[in-house]
């Protein structure tokens, strides 16, 4: 049965390998299904109306539109903000500039008018003029003639030299007799002169001259002494008195007519006093001048500006008070001029915006091309891959996401190639396996036939095996007796080994004791050497001290000699000192002699000490050699102990082996009996094996049919993957 099962396992082995691969493929297909579900969820999340609308537009168009819209929005917001800010700044600057210019002009104009008035005022209070006028008023014809000539001679020159005066008149008495100047003013302006007759201040009035209305001043002359009326001075200024201050003032030029914008002097009632253009005629008022005068009166301020409609144009009106007769100098600037710079800026911004949009379109075209071209290329290669061409490869040297997609696409194709190749190889293997199965089925039939022959051989072998078993039982009995003899010998060897171990342990204790004594002797010898060495060092120190004492004795002897010499010089007075010096010398000689003896004794002792150190050192070396020998003996005994332990251990194992052999003897006998019983059963088993052989032959036929089916499936798989080019 075991033989048949091994054959079946050999046949099933390739199927087991294939099934594991099928499981792997099944797992991969499950993974694809999960990825497909995840993709479906993602698609569901990205199906909003806006997303769907954008996906209907091509990528290139989307990119161009997005770039243009972004640039357009930025330009619109920037342009509107810049235009508003610049317009406001320009208007504020122009307003401030025009206001400052008018303020300066009004100051200059006011000074010129004041100088014009002061000329008349100074002339009216001139003592010479007043005296001549008083004499003229009260004198006869000759006196009047003389005084008139004096006035002409005195003031004609200064009046003529005053460029600001166009027409001058000096009239005496209440009858307005002409003393100096033009008498034509009297013809049409007597009523005006009468109205200012009692005015002691300078009065600006409107005269009629040569059929034209002109502005001038009237200054009544009163006597400083009596206060009587003496006459009147009339002065009509030259037009340059007013227009000279603002005629050439540049506040802008009308682009259509080329004329400068209007600057004029207006009174509170709207009458224009002076003007540099025909839009505001002098000594006339129109709706514009009246509206301006009214607005200035409402504002009730000396300087300022406001917006107004002039000739259907929005204009900036700037005014500044002259502080004379309620006159104001006014400038009119259309807002289209004020906004011209801002309009130019707006035009430039629009042009710049168009250029930016064009550049954005070009850039977006370039960027969209960099996206659309690789995308179209990728779609083209995907279509080829869909048609089964797996030999393609996309070449993209970029570093963007599309390049990553292309490289991943190439990697995917490589993986698909590998998968298809593996499928082809698997199909080929299946074909090979089917062939092998067919071969195995034929072999199985042959083996079945051989099994029937083997059954007969087994029956014959069973009889021979029974005879051999009986011989084996007798042999086992002889082997059992021999094993008993070996066991007795092992016991005797164990006793001898135990006795030897006891003797070795005693010798080891003696060696240990000797080792301890050797260590103690070595320590004592070291201490002796150390003490003798220290004694030698002390003797050397004593020798140094003795040398010092000898030196001191020699110095003392020398000093006593010197003392004796000095005592001899002293005579009788130094005898006592000489005796002391003699005794000191003797003491010094005795100390020197004793020191020399001590030095000799110490030298001899030191020599003996050095010899003792040498002997002690030699003894120490011998003790160390002895100690080394004892250590070696101790090591040898330890090695003997280790070997004895191993011998004892081996004897124990040998004894156990012998016991095991004795036990195995019984088991072998039982096994021999069992083998005999098995031999009897072999005949019965042979019949069963014959039946199994018939079953095996039927299984071989079924296996051949499976092989044919598997080969057909392999052909279908080969056709399915043949569409792919790898």
One domain for residues 376 and 439: no
pLDDT higher at 493 or 102: 102
CATH number at residue 172: 3.30.450.20
Largest CA-CA distance found in the chain, in angstroms, rounded: 207
d(CA 58, CA 434): 54
One domain for residues 423 and 282: no
With cut-offs at 50, 70 and 90, classify the pLDDT of residue 284. Answer: confident
The CA-CA-CA angle for residues 166, 172, 176, to 5°, reads 75
One domain for residues 625 and 488: yes
DSSP SS3 for 424: helix
Mean pLDDT of 357-369: 79
Domain's final residue, options 196, 220, 245: 245
**676-713 as b/e, with b when 16 or more CB fall inside 10 Å?**
beebeebeeebeebeeebeebeebbeebbeebeebbee
Residue 316 is classified by DSSP as: E
DSSP SS3 for 139: coil
Q: Is 669 domain-assigned? A: yes
DSSP SS3 for 299: helix
Q: What DSSP letter does each residue of 54-105 carry, written as one string?
A: HHTS-HHHHHHHHHHHHHHHHHHHHHHHHHHHHHHHHHHHHHHHHHHHHHHH
Mean pLDDT of 619-623: 71
One domain for residues 74 and 179: no
- Token pair, residue 213, equals 């209305």
Q: Give the pLDDT confidence of 154-180 residue by residue, as tens digits.
A: 888 888 888 888 888 898 888 888 888
Do 306 and 299 form a contact (C-beta atoms < 8 A)?
yes
**Which of 88-102, 358-372, 542-556 is most confident?**
88-102
Mean pLDDT of 388-406: 76
Residue whose token pair is 């598997």: 710
Expressed as residue numbers, the domain containing 259 is: 58-108+247-387
**67-102 as b/e, with b when 16 or more CB fall inside 10 Å?**
bbeebeeebeeebeeebeebbeebbeebbeebbebb
589-to-402, 558, 593, 596 alpha-carbon distances in Å? 121, 11, 6, 11
One domain for residues 434 and 468: yes
- Token pair, residue 671, equals 């096994």
d(CA 169, CA 178): 7
- Token pair, residue 64, equals 């161009």
Q: Is 637 domain-assigned? A: yes
With cut-offs at 50, 70 and 90, classify the pLDDT of residue 393. Answer: confident
Q: Is 408 domain-assigned? A: no
The upper half-sphere exposure of residue 358, i.e. CA atoms within 13 Å in the direction of its Cβ, equals 6
pLDDT higher at 507 or 649: 649
pLDDT at 29: 44
Q: List strands edge to edge, sheet with 328-334.
A: 272-275, 263-266, 328-334, 313-321, 303-310
| Closest listed residue to residue 102, CA positions, set 296, 333, 330, 335 | 330
- Token pair, residue 560, equals 């006593």
pLDDT at 687: 61
d(CA 383, CA 528): 108
One domain for residues 30 and 130: no
One domain for residues 33 and 89: no
d(CA 278, CA 129): 41
d(CA 371, CA 59): 8
Q: Is 235 domain-assigned? A: yes
Question: In this structure, what are the phi and psi dihedrals at residue 394, rounded to the nearest 5 degrees?
Answer: -90, 130
One domain for residues 284 and 233: no
Global pTM value:
0.45
Domain's final residue, options 365, 387, 409: 387
Q: Which helix (H) or strand (E) holds 522?
A: helix 401-570
Q: Is 346 domain-assigned? A: yes
62-to-51, 66, 67, 69, 346 alpha-carbon distances in Å? 12, 6, 9, 10, 29
Mean pLDDT of 627-634: 72
Q: Is 298 domain-assigned? A: yes
Chain centroid offset of residue 441 CA? 73
Q: Is 363 domain-assigned? A: yes
pLDDT at 472: 62
pLDDT at 122: 92
Which residues, at least 6 apart from 582, have a Cβ–Cβ distance to it below 8 Å?
Answer: 560, 564
Mean pLDDT of 63-92: 80
β partners of residue 165: 237
The total domain count for the chain is: 4
Which residues, at least 6 apart from 113, have a Cβ–Cβ distance to it below 8 Å?
Answer: 241, 322, 324
| Closest listed residue to residue 110, CA positions, set 275, 326, 299, 333 | 326
pLDDT at 23: 33
Q: Other C-beta atoms within 10 Å of 227: how many? A: 9
pLDDT higher at 693 or 115: 115
pLDDT higher at 222 or 665: 222
Which residues, at least 6 apart from 255, have a Cβ–Cβ distance to it below 8 Å?
Answer: 337
One domain for residues 14 and 104: no
Do 571 and 515 form a contact (C-beta atoms < 8 A)?
no
CATH number at residue 438: 1.10.287
- Token pair, residue 230, equals 């003496």
d(CA 356, CA 424): 59
| Closest listed residue to residue 184, CA positions, set 210, 153, 149 | 210
pLDDT higher at 493 or 403: 403
pLDDT at 2: 46
Percent of the chain with pLDDT over 70: 71
CB-based burial label for 300 (10 Å; 0-12, 13-18, 19+): exposed
Mean pLDDT of 474-488: 65
- Token pair, residue 198, equals 């009692």
Tell whether the model's pLDDT for residue 141 goes beyond 50.
yes
One domain for residues 547 and 663: yes
| Closest listed residue to residue 272, CA positions, set 287, 260, 284 | 284
* C-alpha torsion 372→378→383→387, nearest 10: 170
- Token pair, residue 696, equals 């095996």
Q: Is 397 domain-assigned? A: no
Residue whose token pair is 């770039």: 67
Domain's final residue, options 197, 229, 245: 245
- Token pair, residue 600, equals 């000799």
One domain for residues 514 and 368: no
CA 369, 373, 374, 376 torsion: positive or negative? positive
One domain for residues 285 and 355: yes
pLDDT higher at 699 or 349: 349
Residues composing the chain: 726
Tell whether the model's pLDDT for residue 188 goes beyond 90.
no
Q: List strands edge to edge, sheet with 203-209.
A: 177-181, 165-172, 229-237, 212-222, 203-209
Q: What DSSP letter does each residue of 366-402 carry, written as one string?
A: HHHHHHHHHHHHHHHHHHHHHTTB----------SHH
DSSP SS3 for 268: coil
The upper half-sphere exposure of residue 380, i.e. CA atoms within 13 Å in the direction of its Cβ, equals 10
257-to-248, 282, 316, 337, 338 alpha-carbon distances in Å? 17, 21, 19, 13, 17
Tell whether the model's pLDDT for residue 679 goes beyond 60.
no
β partners of residue 119: none
Helix, strand, coil share of the chain (percent; to 5): 75, 10, 15
């Amino acid at each position: 049965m075991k033989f048949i099962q091994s054959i079946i396992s050999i046949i099933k082995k390739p199927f087991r390998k294939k099934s594991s691969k099928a499981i792997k493929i099944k797992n991969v297909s499950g993974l694809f299904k999960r990825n497909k579900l995840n993709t479906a969820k993602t698609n569901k999340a990205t199906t909003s109306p806006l997303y769907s609308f954008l996906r209907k537009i091509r990528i290139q168009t989307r990119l161009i539109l997005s770039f243009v819209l972004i640039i357009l929005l930025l330009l619109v917001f920037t342009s509107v903000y810049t235009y508003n800010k610049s317009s406001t700044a320009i208007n504020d600057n122009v307003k401030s500039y025009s206001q400052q210019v008018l303020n300066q002009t009004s100051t200059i104009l006011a000074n010129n008018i004041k100088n014009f008035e002061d000329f008349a005022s100074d002339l009216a209070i001139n003592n010479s003029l007043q005296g001549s006028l008083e004499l003229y008023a009260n004198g006869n014809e000759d006196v009047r003639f003389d005084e008139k000539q004096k006035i002409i001679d005195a003031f004609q020159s200064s009046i003529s030299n005053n460029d600001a005066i166009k027409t001058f008149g000096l009239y005496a008495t209440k009858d307005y007799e002409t003393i100096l100047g033009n008498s034509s003013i009297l013809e049409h302006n007597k009523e005006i002169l009468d109205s200012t007759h009692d005015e002691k201040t300078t009065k600006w009035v409107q005269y009629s001259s040569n059929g034209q209305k002109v502005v001038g001043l009237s200054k009544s002359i009163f006597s400083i002494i009596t206060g009587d009326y003496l006459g009147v001075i009339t002065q009509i200024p030259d037009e340059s008195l007013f227009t000279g201050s603002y005629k050439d003032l540049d506040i802008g030029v009308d682009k259509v007519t080329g004329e400068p914008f209007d600057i004029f002097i207006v009174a509170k009632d709207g009458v224009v006093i002076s003007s540099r253009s025909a839009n505001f005629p002098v000594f006339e008022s129109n709706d514009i001048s009246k509206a301006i005068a009214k607005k200035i009166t409402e504002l009730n301020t000396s300087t300022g500006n406001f917006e107004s409609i002039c000739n259907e144009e929005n204009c900036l009106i700037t005014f500044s008070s002259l502080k004379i007769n309620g006159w104001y100098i006014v400038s009119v600037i259309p807002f289209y001029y004020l906004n011209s710079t801002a309009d130019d800026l707006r035009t430039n911004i629009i042009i710049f915006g168009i250029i930016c949009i064009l550049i954005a379109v070009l850039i977006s075209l370039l960027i969209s091309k960099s996206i659309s071209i690789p995308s179209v290329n990728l779609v083209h290669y995907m279509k080829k891959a869909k048609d089964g061409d797996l030999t393609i490869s996309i070449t993209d040297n970029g570093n963007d996401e599309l390049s990553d997609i292309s490289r991943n696409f190439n990697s995917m194709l490589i993986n698909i190639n590998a998968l298809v190749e593996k499928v082809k190889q698997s199909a080929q293997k299946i074909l090979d396996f089917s062939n092998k199965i067919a071969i195995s089925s034929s072999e199985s039939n042959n083996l079945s036939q051989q099994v029937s022959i083997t059954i007969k051989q087994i029956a014959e072998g069973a009889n021979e095996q029974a005879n051999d078993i009986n011989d084996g039982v007798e042999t086992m009995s002889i082997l059992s007796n021999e094993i008993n003899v070996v066991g007795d010998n092992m016991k005797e060897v164990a006793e001898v080994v135990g006795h030897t171990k006891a003797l070795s342990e005693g010798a080891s204790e003696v060696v240990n004791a000797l080792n301890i004594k050797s260590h103690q002797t070595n320590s004592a010898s070291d201490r002796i050497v150390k003490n003798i060495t220290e004694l030698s060092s002390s003797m050397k120190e004593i020798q140094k001290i003795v040398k010092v004492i000898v030196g001191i004795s020699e110095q003392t002897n020398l000093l006593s000699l010197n003392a004796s010499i000095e005592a001899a010089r002293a005579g009788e007075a130094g005898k006592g000192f000489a005796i002391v010096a003699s005794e000191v010398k003797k003491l010094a000689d005795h100390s020197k002699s004793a020191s020399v003896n001590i030095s000799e004794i110490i030298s001899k002792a030191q020599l003996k000490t050095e010899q003792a150190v040498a002997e002690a050192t030699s003894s120490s070396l011998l003790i160390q050699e002895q100690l080394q020998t004892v250590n070696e003996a101790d090591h040898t005994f330890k090695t003997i102990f280790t070997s004895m332990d191993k011998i004892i251990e081996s004897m124990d194992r040998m004894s156990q082996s012998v016991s095991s052999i004795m036990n195995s003897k019984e088991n072998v006998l039982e096994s021999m009996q069992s083998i005999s019983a098995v031999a009897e059963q072999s005949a019965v088993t042979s019949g069963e094996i014959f039946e199994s052989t018939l079953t095996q032959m039927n299984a071989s036929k079924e296996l051949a049919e499976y092989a044919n089916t598997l080969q057909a499936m392999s052909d279908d798989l080969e056709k399915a993957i043949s569409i792919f080019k790898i």
